[in-house]
Amino acid sequence: MAKAVIAGNWKMHMTCAETREFAAAFRPLISDLPDDRQVLIAPPFTAIPTLSRHLEGTGVAIAAQNVHWDEKGAYTGMVSAAMLVEHGVTHAIVGHSEPRKYFSESDEQINLRARTAQKHGLIPILCVGESLDQRETGETERVIHRQIEQGLEAVDPTRLIVAYEPIWAIGTGKTCAADEANRICGLIRGWVGHKDVTVQYGGSVNPATIDDLMAQSDIDGVLVGGASLDPASFARIANFRVSATV
């Protein structure tokens, strides 16, 4: 059985000083994690060295929030895969709905990012998900299918995580109902075409919803925004309880 993957995406939060405080509080709370799960945190680029130093020995892996598709060059403000690997980063989020929206990232660019990440040994975490409008007009499945098909062209499905993040659930406090999240994660698994691919759910995951989400058959982990900024909340999520009936 592959490990569950519990990932935190800090977005544009956390200075280095705040990162040190987080790590000091978080460390003791995850000292007894069962070994059926992997914890990842994606801090801002500037906090990567601080976080990896202060969580050394805990088993928590470090992810990047994005990665450029080219090896190097005149791309002001961007960070390459080799630069991330040099800092011990093992995973890279690609295709999050925020850069899709604010920086007009296309499926083609996202695909190139995922391919470059894999070329450098990073595991891409491809985010997919529909807007409220798309859900209400019955386009959810078509939109996600397209994001998967275009985003994963020539990507190795054995070194990949896909995160289902419905846009309407991100930062809104409206976690998608666990059975519906499970249904979409199951569809994603089929579209990826590799039954062992890790499929996460993301969108307002919190300590109150985590156990129910992780009890679902097709949800292999979560991608957590807001609740990953608080050491106690994120530790409770990482320490999710597996229900006895599952």
| Catalytic positions | 96, 165
**Residues 78-97 close enough to bind ligand 13P by CB under 6 A:** 96
The DSSP string of 147-166 is: HHHHHTTT--GGG-EEEE--
Residue 57 DSSP code:
T
Instruction: With contacts defined by CB under 6 A, name the span among 75-83, 134-142, 211-219, 223-231 that binds ligand 13P.
Output: 223-231
Of 223, 110, 231, 100, nearest in space to 171 by CA: 223
The nearer residue to ligand 13P, 75 or 104, going by C-beta atoms, is: 104
Q: Cβ of residue 174: shortest distance to ligand 13P, in angstroms?
A: 9
- Which of 19, 226, 231, 240 contacts ligand 13P by CB under 6 A? 226
25 Cβ neighbours under 8 A, 6+ residues apart: 231, 232
Interaction between residue 125 and ligand 13P (CB under 6 A): no
Q: Cβ of residue 58: shortest distance to ligand 13P, in angstroms?
A: 21
**Residues 33-72 close enough to bind ligand 13P by CB under 6 A:** none
Instruction: With contacts defined by CB under 6 A, name the span among 67-75, 141-149, 189-197, 225-233 that binds ligand 13P.
Output: 225-233
The nearer residue to ligand 13P, 73 or 95, going by C-beta atoms, is: 95
**Residues 141-180 close enough to bind ligand 13P by CB under 6 A:** 165, 170-171
How far is it, in rounded angstroms, from Cα 18 to Cα 29?
Answer: 17
Interaction between residue 238 and ligand 13P (CB under 6 A): no
How far is it, in rounded angstroms, from Cα 115 to Cα 154?
Answer: 7
Instruction: With contacts defined by CB under 6 A, name the span among 33-41, 52-60, 132-140, 196-204 that binds ligand 13P.
Output: 196-204
Interaction between residue 205 and ligand 13P (CB under 6 A): yes
Q: Cβ-closest residue to ligand 13P? A: 225
Residue 75: how many other CB atoms lie within 10 Å: 11
Bridge partners (DSSP) of residue 6 are: 39, 222
Of 14, 149, 122, 6, nearest in space to 67 by CA: 122
Of 85, 33, 91, 82, nearest in space to 57 by CA: 33
The nearer residue to ligand 13P, 82 or 232, going by C-beta atoms, is: 232
The pair of structure tokens assigned to 107 is 């499926």
How far is it, in rounded angstroms, from Cα 174 to Cα 134?
Answer: 16
Enumerate the H helices of 59-201 as residue ranges.
81-85, 97-102, 107-119, 132-136, 140-151, 178-192
Instruction: With contacts defined by CB under 6 A, name the span among 143-151, 207-215, 224-232, 238-246 that binds ligand 13P.
Output: 224-232
- Which of 99, 129, 151, 202 contacts ligand 13P by CB under 6 A? 202
Binding interface with ligand 13P (CB under 6 A):
9, 96, 165, 170-171, 202-205, 223-227
